Chain A
Amino acid sequence: MKQEDLKTLLYDEIAKCNRCGFCLAHCPIYSVTGREWATPRGKNALVRAIIEGKIGWTPEIEDTLFRCTGCRLCTQTCFPAVETNQGVLAGRACLAEMKQYPKIVDRVSKALENNFNISDEPNEERIAWVEFLKDVPGHMYQKEKAKVLYFVGCVASFFPLVQKIPQAFVQILDKGEVDFSTLGGEEWCCGFPLIQMGMPDKMEKLIDHNQEKVEQLGAETVVFACPSCYHTWKEKYKINAEMLHSTQFMERLINEGKIKFKKGFNKTVTYHDPCDLGRNSKVFDPPRDILKAIPGLQLIEMANNRQLCICCGGGGDLEMIDPELSAAIAERKIQEIKDTGAEVVVTSCQQCIRTISGYARKKEIDLKVMDITEVVLEAMG
């Protein structure tokens, strides 16, 4: 993006910021850094100063703009609802144009170009998690035609810690007798990381490919266990099929009597709303309705929940860009989880699981973190 476009697109939006500073109370980055550069107000001020020609693209602006989790809690709690994250992403797009960004950005964008996934591994490996499952049908979840497409997403496909999500979800779908398929090695990254890295233009190829695959499969529904894939598809893709998050789809299966909880789940749990599912896609009730339908499970809400849920620290590719900062945010999140006294924290996002349990493991904190698909599978018995 060119600087002139920044002005056309965002000057009026950013000018709504009156610098009242109320966002400082909520921004996870400011909460752990205590520096003005971290604040949404500061980010608005910098984008504005750039637009007005009062400051150039300093290295500090790059650092600042690449340190935003995209959680949008600032916009949620801002009375004029300034879309700070849009300014941040547009700023990143300007920086990308000038090749001024953290090194990791190049690595990820090359991986997407070469292998269509963020891990830069051969894309056929996407389905490697299937090998650990018992009783896998002959088609290995790669059918030619299916009513439902399960779009797995890069992180859940390649990162061992969270492969348990697709492993659990396909078992639930099997038990629910759903006619579904994955795209296997033909699934390409949804493009979310490119938006975050300021290169939305490069998404087109990925979008076209994935859209075409939906059509070839003849899918009527596309389901995502990853909130960021879900949000990206909802915002950027144009398909005839309906798009649902796994929690919405599972809620439907429960209502249709296709998911039955024979075993239940005798534990107290708290639920963490992933930013891209909750605040950014407004899916708050389906996960809670699922948890409430499970016999024995007792749900305790965190102090900040639903629209006000605080990011785990893993949003907006922050874990890739600044793992220390991401960990500091996770530390606070874990404290809030611990304060509920719940035995298990349940979420519905592989990135939240990675950030929260990654930190807990490193610091040897006793904390059980589960994806909602795992809880459902266990409760089904």
Chain B
Amino acid sequence: MEREKLIEESIKIVGKENVLSSETDLLLYGYDASLFRGKPDCIVLPGSTEEVSKIVKFAHEAGIHVLGRGSGTNLSGGTIPTQGGIIIHFSRMNKILEIDIENQRAVVEPGVFTLALKNALARYGYVYQPDPASEKVSTFGGNFGENSGGPHCLKYGVTTNHILGAEVVLSNGEVVQVGGKSLDNPGYDLTGLLVGSEGTLGIATKLILRIMPKPEAVKTMLAIYNSLEDAGKTVSAIIGDGIVPATLEMLDKLTIKAVEESIHAGFPLDAEAVLIIELDGLKDGMERLAERIMEICKKNNVREVKAAKNEAERMQLWAGRKGAFGAIARLRPNYLVCDGTVPRTKLPEVLAKVMEVGRKYELSIANVFHAGDGNLHPLILFDERNEEELRKVHLAGSEIMKLCADAGGTISGEHGIGTEKKKEMLFVFTPQDIRAMEKVKRAFDPEDLYNPGKVLPEVEA
């Protein structure tokens, strides 16, 4: 279909003011937080499920690609329109529809910022647990698509454990309900299938979330190390001892430097690594648990363990962790976040190899990660204006994923596969495995209209 006609039809559905199609707008919706670029044919901002359905239906009939977008914070190129088409930007569908405290459920539209719901829940003493670093701006539609994680997912599980159901627009425009408000829904677990499908199977227009009472007490500690290896060993030892803290985060020296330069979170500049260990739950017994953790830290040569004395100190530590990616940009203009997972016991060994990759390609690598989950986030620093450097960055990123896979881990912890790691899927899956996934894709989207060219690598039939 000609572009003009496509725009005209979109305008009929959502109105002129909610269709963007200028050259400038096409450039602006061609990026996300990854290193990839694309160009859509037009951008549509619907105000209701009905409008989304109409857009998708029309696109389906015309054979046009469709891609959902929230705040465009995606790190793996999941929101990049690599093959053109319509981008559905959900910024207008940003209402919290229901907060049901007694039944511990919330219902939101896909454009709601994660933190906006948390702020609304705070006055009831409730919380939505997943906490992606980008939560102040990441949307629930995006969390749904990417199965987002975050520091607290160590104890509470990732997004899929907190989305109980959704209203979903299928690739032909049909609106269906998957899951529901109860914990275990009859029939196939389509919610589980759709969460993390990166917009390739369906587009959520309403989400049913599980909310929980805020823990009675929280204790946050900063453990400071002179060696990265000791910090890594501590992580394994804590979990091995049967303790599951709410978070167990690690930052290495280069990250500490960047964070301190930007926000002064209170990390010591001469440390090789720090762990942010947070406990939450009942007040009774928390101190005892904290002492056990400190004991384990000491056995693993910790230099010092500091406990946040108040909420302000706690927030400061977290501001440092959550701002780590951005702070890295103070060292070099750009970074690639590698997102891989390894068994916790392999952390020190894989970290050492990651640093070797950095030396091999002459690239600086900073490490900040969800250590408790074994979820690494090596950040490769570079200047994307330097093409040679950019080429090396992609090679190094892929090599790091191989290291994770070879160590018995996997190539994504939470950021998704998107455009970035399609071929790396073969590090962890056989062609047969991929073909099984293809069957699912075909069942939901036989014409390959939803976010085409993402997630699945091409394998021979």
Binding site for B on A (CB under 8 A): 12, 15-22, 24-25, 34-37, 42, 45-46, 49, 54-55, 58-61, 64, 78-81
**Would A37 and B28 count as touching, CB distance under 8 A?**
yes
List of A residues within 8 angstroms of B33 by Cβ:
18-21
Question: A64: which B residues are within 8 A, CB to CB?
Answer: 24
CB-CB nearest in chain B for A52: B385
Say whether A35 contacts B329, CB under 8 Å.
no
Shortest Cβ distance from residue B213 to the other chain A in the assembled complex, whole angstroms: 23
Identify B323's interface contact among A17, A21, A61, A79, CB under 8 A.
A79
Q: How far apart are the CA atoms of A15 and B23 in the complex, in Å?
A: 21
Q: Chain A nearest CB: distance from B28 CB in Å?
A: 4
Contacts of A59 in B (CB 8 A): 22
Cβ-closest chain B residue relative to A43: B28
A35 to B72, CA, bound (A): 11
Q: How far is the CA of A12 from the CA of B113 in the complex (A)?
A: 31
What's the minimum C-beta distance from B35 to chain A, rounded to whole angstroms?
Answer: 9
Residues of A within 8 A of B113 (CB): 25
Q: Does B243 contact A (CB under 8 A)?
A: no
Using Cβ atoms and an 8 Å threshold, which residues of chain B touch A15?
A: 333-334, 383-385
Kindly list chain B residues whose C-beta atoms are within 8 Å of the C-beta of A45. 27-28, 31
> Given the complex of chains A and B, what is the CA–CA distance between A55 and B73 in angstroms?
23
Question: Chain B nearest CB: distance from A56 CB in Å?
Answer: 8
Chain B positions within 8 Å of A79 at CB level: 262-263, 323, 325-327, 329-330
Contact A35/B20 with A19-B72, A25-B137, A46-B28 known, Cβ cut-off 8 Å? yes
A55 proximity list for chain B (CB < 8 A):
23-24, 27
A21-B71, A21-B134 given; A80·B22 CB < 8 A? no
B29-72 residues at the A interface, CB under 8 angstroms: 29, 31-33, 43, 45, 71-72
Counting chain B residues whose Cβ lies within 8 A of the other chain, the interface size class is 35 or more
Stretch at the interface among B87-95, B198-206, B297-305, B445-453: B87-95
B330 to A, closest residue via Cβ: A80
User: When the two chains form their complex, are residues B27 and A46 in contact, meaning their CB atoms are under 8 A apart?
Assistant: yes
- B residues near A36, Cβ cutoff 8 Å: 25, 28-29, 43, 72, 89
> Which residue of chain B is the closest to A80 with respect to CB atoms?
B329
Which one of A16, A19, A58, A80 lies within 8 Å of B31 (CB-CB)? A19
Please state if A80 and B24 are interface contacts (CB–CB under 8 Å): no
A residues in contact with B178, CB < 8 Å = none
Cα separation A136 to B333 with both chains bound (whole Å):
59
- Chain A residues positioned under 8 Å from B43 (CB to CB): 36
Contact A20 B27 (CB under 8 A): no
Interface centre among A16, A35, A36, A54 (most CB of B within 10 A): A36
Taking the closest CB of chain A, its distance from the CB of B254, in whole angstroms, is: 15
Q: Is B225 an interface residue (CB 8 A)?
A: no
Q: Say if the beta carbon of B136 comes within 8 Å of chain A.
A: yes
- Nearest Cβ distance between residue B10 and chain A, in whole angstroms? 15
Residues on B with beta carbons closer than 8 Å to the beta carbon of A18? 33, 325-326, 329, 333-335
Q: Which residues of A contact B73 (CB under 8 A)?
A: 20-22
Among B23, B25, B137, the residue within 8 A (CB) of A22 is B137
Closest Cβ of chain B: how far from A232's Cβ, in Å? 28
- New A-B contacts (4) at CB < 8 Å, excluding given A22-B73, A22-B136, A79-B329: A15-B384, A24-B137, A37-B28, A45-B28
**Complex contact B31–A35 (CB within 8 A):** no
- Tell me which residues across on chain B come within 8 A of A78, comparing CB atoms: 326
Q: Report B-chain residues with C-beta under 8 Å of the C-beta of A81.
A: 262, 330
Residues of A near B89 (CB, < 8 A) are: 34-36
Q: Confirm or deny: B115 has a beta carbon within 8 angstroms of a beta carbon on chain A.
A: yes
State how many angstroms separate the Cβ of B390 from the closest Cβ of chain A: 13
Query: In the complex, what distance in Å separates the CA atom of A42 from the CA atom of B134?
Result: 17
12 pairs, CB–CB < 8 Å, chain A vs chain B: A16-B333, A20-B326, A22-B137, A34-B111, A35-B20, A36-B89, A37-B24, A45-B27, A45-B28, A79-B323, A79-B326, A79-B329
Contact A25 B28 (CB under 8 A): no
Q: What separation, in Å, do the CA atoms of A55 and B28 have in the docked complex?
A: 11
Interface centre among A42, A58, A80, A81 (most CB of B within 10 A): A80
Q: A35-B45, A79-B323, A80-B330 are in contact. Are A21 and B72 (CB under 8 A)?
A: yes
> Looking at the complex, which one of B25, B71, B334 makes contact with A60 (CB distance below 8 Å)?
B25
Q: Knowing A18-B334, A21-B73, A42-B28 touch, does A60 contact B137 (C-beta < 8 A)?
A: no
Instruction: Name the residue of chain A whose CB is nearest to the CB of B92.
Output: A34
Q: In the complex, how many angstroms separate the beta carbon of A213 from the nearest chain B beta carbon?
A: 42
| Chain B, Cβ-Cβ closest to A37 | B28
A110→B46 CA distance, assembly (Å): 43
Q: Once bound together, how far apart are the Cα atoms of A190 and B302, in whole Å?
A: 58
- B259-282: CB near A (< 8 Å → 1, else 0) gives 000110000000000000000000
Q: Please name the residue on chain A nearest to B138 by beta carbon.
A: A21
| A309 CB, nearest partner CB in chain B, Å | 17
What is the minimal beta-carbon distance from B167 to any residue of chain A, in angstroms? 21
Question: With a CB–CB cut-off of 8 A, which chain B residues contact A61?
Answer: 24
List residues of chain A with CB within 8 A of the CB of B263: 79
Residues of B within 8 A of A80 (CB): 262, 326-327, 329-330
A325 to chain B, nearest CB (A): 13
Q: A12 CA to B384 CA in the complex, in Å?
A: 11
With a CB–CB cut-off of 8 A, which chain A residues contact B323?
79
Q: With A19-B72, A21-B72 given, is the CB distance from A34 to B45 under 8 Å?
A: yes
CA distance A161 to B363 in the complex (A): 59
What's the nearest-Cβ distance from chain A to residue B296, in Å?
32
Please measure, in the bound complex, the distance between the C-alpha atom of A50 and the C-alpha atom of B72, giving whole angstroms.
Answer: 21
Q: Compute how far the CA of A269 lies from the CA of B27 in the bound complex, rounded to whole angstroms.
A: 45
Q: Which residue of chain B has its CB nearest to the CB of A12?
A: B333
Residues on A with C-beta less than 8 A from B29 are 36
What 1/0 mask marks residues of chain B from 302 to 345 whose CB sits below 8 Å from any chain A CB? 00000000000000000000010111011001110000000000
Q: Judge whether B24 and A58 touch: CB under 8 Å.
A: yes
**Of listed B23, B32, B333, residue having the most chain A CB within 10 A:** B333
Q: Which positions 98-119 of chain B face chain A at CB distance < 8 Å?
A: 111, 113, 115
Interface centre among A17, A34, A55, A78 (most CB of B within 10 A): A34
7 closest pairs, A vs B, by CB?
A: A79-B326, A34-B91, A80-B329, A60-B24, A25-B137, A36-B28, A25-B136
| Contact present for A60 and B22 (CB under 8 Å) | yes
Chain B residues within an 8 Å CB radius of A12: 333
A20 in contact with B325 given A36-B28, A37-B24, A46-B27 (CB within 8 Å): yes
For A46, the chain B residues whose CB sits under 8 A away are: 24, 27-28
How near does chain B come to A319, taking the closest CB pair, in angstroms? Answer: 22
| B327: chain A residues within 8 A (beta carbon) | 79-80
A21 touches B45 (CB 8 A): no
